[in-house]
A and B are shown apart, each in its own frame.
Chain A
Amino acid sequence: MSLFSFLGTLEIGLIYGLVAIGVYLTFRILDFPDLTVDGSFTLGAAVTATLIVMGVNVFLATVAGTIAAACAGLVTAWLNLRFDILHLLASILTMTALYTINLRVMGKPNVALIMEPTILTPFEGIFGLPDMYMRVIFVAVCALIGGLLVAWFLKTQYGLAMRAVGSNKRMAQANGIVVKQKVYAGLALSNGLVGLAGALFAQTNGFADSTMGIGTIVVGLAAVIIGQSLFASRSMYVIVLSCIVGSVLYRLAVSMALNADFLGFSASDLNLITAVLVALALIFPKLRNEWKAKQAARKEA
């Protein structure tokens, strides 16, 4: 793998680290499998790109994309909490609706940002760094700040209450926690992070596209699962950072599999590779435990 493609892979892995954290919040913390992210990733990108093309300040545009995606999460939460629609189905409905909404927002299937200023523009040439390094550092800082803030949040009283809601609703309620409020907040936060990732992706890659969000959920889940199978820890900081590391490792593994000529994969084999990687990450901890149990039994005998 060339240095150039390595840095590119790193960059995408770091951006999707934010997606992984969002997915971790819904799937693991809230126990609310949320597929909205396929749509909210694109929504974040679409809103940001459209606003930038309209001449809006890049930071404001990024914030607007993030908030729009957070609102998509609120819609899913509302469908589930207000009307008892199964969480999975509620999120599929929102995701489906977003496909049209994203096209409406952009007014066409894709928006190019190549000629526009982006959130990276102010950092071009900073410290004399070549662009390709600067971009990686920029997204790394974004992912790290996002991750640290989420980890800190999960350790506050509010964050702890959110974790209790995902773990034991009845207990949470008996301790005075307003369950619905925490679900709304969690879905908004999760989708906001995913939307931010979409907004960063659009700006680093120079486009927003109506199909760019397809498969976001699987990639996010893969990152969470890979990260957690490698770093078994109960510390919120380790868990959140392992989402980012998992995302980077996932990208590296995919890109190596695609680049290894002897394997004979082509870009269209991406989905199979993803599925195999996730399956391996799921199998690995189980095999490890079985192996440990066998070792322990042998010792006793």
Chain B
Amino acid sequence: MISCKELHVTFNRGLPTEKLALRGIDLTIPQGEFVTVIGSNGAGKSTLLNTIAGDINSTKGQILFGERDVTKVPATGRTADIARVFQDPLAGTCGDLTVEENMALAYGRGKRGRLSPALNTKTREIFREQLARLNLGIEDRLESQMGLLSGGQRQSVSLLMSALQPSTILLLDEHTAALDPKTAALIMDITSQIIAEKQLTVMMVTHSMRQALDHGSRTIMLHEGKIIFDLAGEQRANYEVKDLLNLFAQARTDGEELDDDKLLLGA
């Protein structure tokens, strides 16, 4: 379970470039729920995920994983709970290392780096088995340099890497946005498989309204650092892409003036 209470993030506090990126996020995601996150550019979606992961320190508010208060825990202290896939296919893997070395890094996530060999026959077997799920033939290229793989292949490997260690939370930040439609569909397929298998608590940021409605069981919309819309259950089931687009347009034109009445329209 993830709970955010009154979460605020301000960049460059006290400087002329000060930016209020999150302005009081209250959000509780029960164990095993899959939430899709939408919102226009600069709404604070990535900031929210990065703050939950611990890459960014909150200026105010609280974050809990289950009962555990992790607000002050640095990112590396949260990796036992959190797996992530980034938007940039190059960000989730090391181009200078081989495929198997990358997998070995993810395999060691949440454990301490020790002086035992990073790779052995047993781990290689696990990696090969996992990679075979992709049907991309990467299982035969364990010793290739990651940088030689295409963006789609790298993103696929990042996704598998996120699932190598048991974790309870999966954070996906537009992880299919940089891919061609066919690869994006493949990645989304495997994503769903992994989530179902491991019963993960998921937050998935997406630009695609279709994706936002087709996946998961709840959709939230961010606007200027606030959650302006939280959709679940039957109401969400009746929602169409065009309804979401309407909401988007509203948020844009109304800007600051968006008031409680309009929020109620959706709620």
A residues at B contact (CB < 8 Å): 153, 155-161, 163-164, 166-168, 170-178, 234
Contacts and interface: CB of A to CB of B under 8 A. Distances in A.
A158 B105 contact: no
A177 B75 contact: no
Interface string B92-114: 11111110010011101111011
B108 A176 contact: yes
Nearest to B171: A174
Interface of B is mostly: loop
B100 to A, nearest CB: 10
A177 B113 contact: yes
Interface stretch (B15-23, B76-84, B234-242): B76-84
A163 B96 CA distance: 9
Contact of A168 (B91, B106, B145, B161): B91
A265 to B, nearest CB: 38
B129 interface: no
Interface residues of B, number: 35
Contacts of B86: 170, 174
Nearest to B95: A167
Given A156-B116, A157-B115, A234-B145, A177 B95 contact: no
Interface of A is mostly: helix
Given A160-B104, A176-B76, A176-B109, A171 B92 contact: yes
Interface in B3-48: none
Residue in A155, A157, A161, A173 whose Cβ sees the most chain B Cβ within 10 Å: A157
The 5 closest A-B CB pairs, nearest first, are A176-B79, A167-B94, A160-B118, A158-B113, A167-B96
29 contacts: A155-B119, A156-B113, A157-B113, A157-B114, A158-B113, A159-B118, A160-B97, A160-B105, A160-B108, A160-B113, A160-B118, A161-B105, A163-B94, A163-B101, A164-B94, A168-B94, A170-B91, A171-B91, A173-B76, A174-B79, A174-B92, A175-B109, A176-B76, A176-B79, A176-B80, A176-B108, A176-B111, A234-B98, A234-B145
Interface string B148-159: 000000000000
Nearest to A162: B113
B84 A157 contact: no
A162 B98 CA distance: 14
B39 to A, nearest CB: 22
Contacts of B116: 156-157
Residue in A160, A167, A170, A174 whose Cβ sees the most chain B Cβ within 10 Å: A174
A155 B98 CA distance: 12
A170 B55 CA distance: 9
